[in-house]
């Protein structure tokens, strides 16, 4: 979640997802899953969802006006610095054709958006599927596959009427049965989806006719509306298939603006424009995600002209992309990410079960130094899971300040002391030593880990640093809870709900609460937040959530980075907005294809 462009369909911006921060360049795409997502750090289009992340949503969420008003503007740098949108040459018109190439540190793990929780997977899946609703450029929910979406005054009944004529890529029509099937599939415990909770709240779902679905709840559910900014899956393809391991994971059939063309493991994923997409065929013929697990190599490929856009590291943004040649050929953007980076503790580790140890580590860290050293100042300190300036951001809490002596006192109170004079504190014969795990190729997170290693050594804690390739990192370590501590990122979603990341019920293998933090008071607030309709009351609840996370320090919240995407000037149609720059990607075109007036198959 670092440099990520946050594009998500949000992933649908509904849910948070982990970010690789891979090098992407967008921000907030449109919809697809409603919880945070793990960002791989230099993410290519990171966090569209969401995630992310994955803010408020219509009737059922927080005040979008307040969120929008607080969003910092997207800053643009080029020879014509300050221009808000990608300019078009006089007389130029959109044309069909061309191949748009992104660089990505992480490879997708599974293209079923209800199974994967990483940004690499969701960035691709967001282009393959449609949802009843999606977020627009102002992060307001709008109809997408839905012709009409109505909710009863008490919030217990929703009726969704789908648009007619939406086609799956195999030619079958998308109908109410597909939406009903999707809801039941994801709510089924056998599916094991980390996003099941939203649909488990539904008492009954049924089709009223070929295009109309009725959804009933026992009680008001604050996330009911945003739940339907989630992908619709094809019943005729998935019924009877193992959705976790079947062929759909690598070769999905969707109804979105793009379709799968090929996937060469370890090399690239290619998508082709859909001629049957109900929203109109995208201008750009193909999109290629090149898997380049190293940011330096990715930047070399970008300079050589073999990539069209990427998310820059702070050093690349500040020092390596200046001058007339860059200004003539490229356009840079800068805006505060809808994502945060953190050091997460495995609560099943005996050291981290002690709150005093967690607080000692947090106090030993100098977040300003981390931002200066790892981000060259391109970030702001974090104290919790919300974006600065937004509606649910706590008004008085502050990031934990470095206090080396205070950290030493807490370790002493926890029974740790350097009894053999080797500079490492110990307790009951066990030295306070652990390994920080993060994803390979993410130099910002690696630098962050190295700086923390030095800062923690000053209070007698010995830290090892290990990096793992993104897909293996998520699959073998994060999902299984097989780590001491991790540096990762979450997208910050439009809805403030944090249930799937922090509720005790999500502390299971494959769940999003992979640090296994459990707190009854936090659980109660998270449940209340989902059942509360009054916006001010809901805000107070999520202030309380932040206060508990601050008091318990299950994460050391580190920083919210600036997104630093760069794009070639040949890309036209970019319209910077609250949602970032990737929200309308299906409407982009390439300037060297502008003379074409008909779709090129």
Tokens found for residue 253: 């059939």
Delineate the domains of the chain, giving CATH numbers in brackets. 339-562 (3.10.105.10)
Tokens found for residue 593: 């294809």
In whole angstroms, what separates CA 315 from the centre of its chain?
A: 23
Contact by Cβ (8 Å): 512, 501: yes
DSSP assignments along 21-84, one per residue: EEE----B---EEEEEEEEEEEESS-BSSS-S-----GGGS--HHHHHHHSPPPEEESTTTT--
Residue 408: φ, ψ to 5°: -65, -40
Report how far residue 452's alpha carbon sits from residue 2's, in angstroms, rounded to the nearest whole number. Answer: 17
* Beta-ladder partners of 264: 268
Between helix 367-375 and helix 443-457 the angle, nearest 10°, is 140
Report how far residue 323's alpha carbon sits from residue 276's, in angstroms, rounded to the nearest whole number. Answer: 43
Report how far residue 515's alpha carbon sits from residue 344's, in angstroms, rounded to the nearest whole number. Answer: 7
Contacts of 100 (CB under 8 A, 6+ apart): 284, 286, 287, 288, 308, 309, 571, 588, 590
Residue 84: φ, ψ to 5°: -80, -40
Count of C-beta atoms within a 10 Å radius of residue 421: 6
Strands 462-468 and 433-439: parallel
Using alpha carbons, list the distances in angstroms from residue 22 to 337, 339, 349, 511.
13, 13, 29, 23
- Burial status of residue 105 (CB atoms within 10 A of its CB: 0-12, 13-18, 19 or more): buried
Entry pTM: 0.78
Closest C-alpha among 213, 189, 228, 255 to residue 34? 228
What pLDDT does residue 16 have?
55
Closest C-alpha among 187, 221, 183, 190 to residue 205? 183
Tokens 């709900």, residue located: 497
Contacts of 90 (CB under 8 A, 6+ apart): none
What pLDDT does residue 333 have?
93
What pLDDT does residue 36 have?
53
Tokens found for residue 324: 């007339």
Contacts of 375 (CB under 8 A, 6+ apart): 2, 314, 444, 559, 561, 562
Closest C-alpha among 561, 397, 389 to residue 490? 561
Residue 501: φ, ψ to 5°: -95, -30
Closest C-alpha among 308, 385, 368, 303 to residue 549? 385
Report how far residue 151's alpha carbon sits from residue 141's, in angstroms, rounded to the nearest whole number. Answer: 14
Q: What is the mean pLDDT of each run of 10 residues along the chain (601 residues)?
A: 31 48 42 48 33 26 29 49 48 89 90 87 94 94 98 97 98 98 95 90 97 97 94 96 88 97 95 97 97 91 95 94 93 92 97 97 98 96 94 96 98 97 96 96 92 98 94 89 95 90 93 95 97 94 98 97 94 90 93 52 36
Closest C-alpha among 159, 178, 147 to residue 255? 178
What pLDDT does residue 298 have?
94
Report how far residue 563's alpha carbon sits from residue 72's, in angstroms, rounded to the nearest whole number. Answer: 12
- Burial status of residue 534 (CB atoms within 10 A of its CB: 0-12, 13-18, 19 or more): exposed
Vertex 547 angle, CA 448 and 376, to 5°: 20
Count of C-beta atoms within a 10 Å radius of residue 398: 9
Report how far residue 479's alpha carbon sits from residue 369's, in angstroms, rounded to the nearest whole number. Answer: 30
What pLDDT does residue 57 have?
24
Closest C-alpha among 357, 335, 472, 485 to residue 414? 357
Report how far residue 131's alpha carbon sits from residue 162's, in angstroms, rounded to the nearest whole number. Answer: 10
DSSP assignments along 121-177, one per residue: HHHHHHHH---SEEE-TTS-EEESSEEEEEE-TTSSEEEEEEPTT-B-TTSPBP-HH
Vertex 251 angle, CA 250 and 252, to 5°: 110
Q: What is the DSSP letter of 400?
A: P
DSSP assignments along 454-485, one per residue: HHHHTTT-EEEEEEE-HHHIIIIIITTT--SE
* Beta-ladder partners of 563: 335
Contact by Cβ (8 Å): 156, 144: no
H/E stretch holding 212 = strand 212-217
Contact by Cβ (8 Å): 488, 2: no
Residue 485: φ, ψ to 5°: -150, 150
Tell me how many helices (H) and strands (E) the chain has. Answer: 16, 26
How many residues are present in the chain? 601
């Amino acid at each position: 979640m670092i440099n990520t462009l946050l594009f998500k369909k949000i992933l649908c911006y509904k849910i948070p997802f982990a970010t690789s921060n891979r090098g992407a360049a967008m921000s907030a795409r449109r919809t697809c899953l409603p919880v945070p997502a793990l960002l791989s750090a230099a993410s290519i289009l990171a966090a569209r969802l969401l995630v992310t992340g994955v803010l408020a949503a219509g009737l059922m969420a927080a005040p979008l006006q307040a969120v929008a008003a607080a969003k910092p503007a997207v800053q643009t740098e080029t020879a014509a610095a300050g221009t808000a949108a990608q300019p078009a040459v006089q007389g130029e018109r959109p044309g069909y054709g061309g191949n748009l190439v992104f660089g990505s540190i992480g490879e997708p793990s599974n293209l079923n958006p209800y199974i994967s929780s990483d940004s690499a997977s969701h960035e691709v899946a967001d282009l393959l599927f449609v949802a009843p609703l999606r977020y627009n450029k102002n992060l307001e929910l709008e109809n997408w596959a839905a012709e009409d979406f109505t909710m009863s005054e008490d919030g217990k009944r929703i009726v969704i009427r789908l648009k007619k004529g939406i086609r799956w890529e195999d030619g079958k029509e998308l109908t109410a049965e597909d939406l009903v099937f999707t809801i039941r599939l994801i709510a089924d415990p056998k599916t094991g989806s980390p996003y099941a909770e939203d649909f488990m709240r539904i008492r009954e779902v049924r089709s009223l006719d070929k295009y109309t679905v009725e959804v009933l709840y026992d009680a008001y559910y604050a996330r009911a509306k945003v739940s339907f900014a989630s992908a619709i899956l094809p019943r005729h393809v998935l019924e009877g298939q193992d959705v976790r391991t079947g062929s759909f994971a690598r070769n999905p059939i969707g109804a979105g603006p793009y379709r799968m063309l090929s996937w060469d493991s370890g090399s690239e994923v290619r998508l082709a424009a859909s001629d049957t997409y109900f929203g109109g065929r995208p201008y750009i013929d193909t999109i290629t995600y090149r898997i380049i697990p190293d940011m330096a190599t990715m930047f070399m490929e970008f300079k050589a002209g073999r990539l069209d856009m990427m998310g820059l590291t702070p050093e690349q943004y500040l020092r390596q992309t200046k001058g007339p040649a860059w200004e003539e050929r490229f356009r840079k953007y800068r805006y505060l990410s809808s994502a945060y980076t953190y050091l997460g503790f495995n609560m099943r580790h005996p050291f981290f079960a002690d709150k005093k140890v967690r607080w000692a580590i947090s106090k030993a860290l100098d977040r300003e130094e981390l931002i200066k050293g790892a981000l060259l100042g391109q970030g702001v300190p974090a104290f919790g899971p919300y974006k600065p300036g937004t509606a649910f951001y706590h008004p008085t809490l502050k990031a934990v300040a470095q206090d080396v002596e205070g950290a030493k006192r807490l370790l002493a109170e926890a029974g740790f002391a350097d009894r053999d004079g080797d500079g490492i504190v110990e307790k009951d014969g066990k030295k306070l030593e652990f390994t920080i795990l993060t994803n390979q190729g993410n130099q910002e997170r690696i630098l962050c880990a190295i700086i923390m290693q030095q800062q923690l050594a000053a209070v007698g804690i010995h830290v090892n640093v290990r990096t793992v390739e993104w897909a293996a990192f998520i699959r073998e370590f994060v999902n299984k809870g097989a780590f001491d501590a991790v540096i990762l990122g979450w997208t910050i979603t439009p809805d403030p709900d944090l249930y799937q990341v922090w509720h005790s019920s999500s502390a299971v293998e494959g769940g999003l609460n992979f640090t296994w933090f459990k707190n009854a008071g936090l659980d109660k607030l998270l449940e209340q937040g989902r059942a509360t309709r009054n916006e001010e009351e809901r805000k107070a609840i999520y202030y309380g959530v932040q206060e508990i996370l601050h008091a318990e320090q299950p994460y050391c919240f580190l920083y919210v980075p600036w997104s630093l995407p760069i794009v070639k000037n040949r890309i036209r149609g970019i319209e910077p907005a609250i949602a970032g720059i990737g929200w309308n990607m299906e409407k982009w075109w390439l300037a060297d294809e502008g003379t074409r007036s008909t779709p090129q198959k």
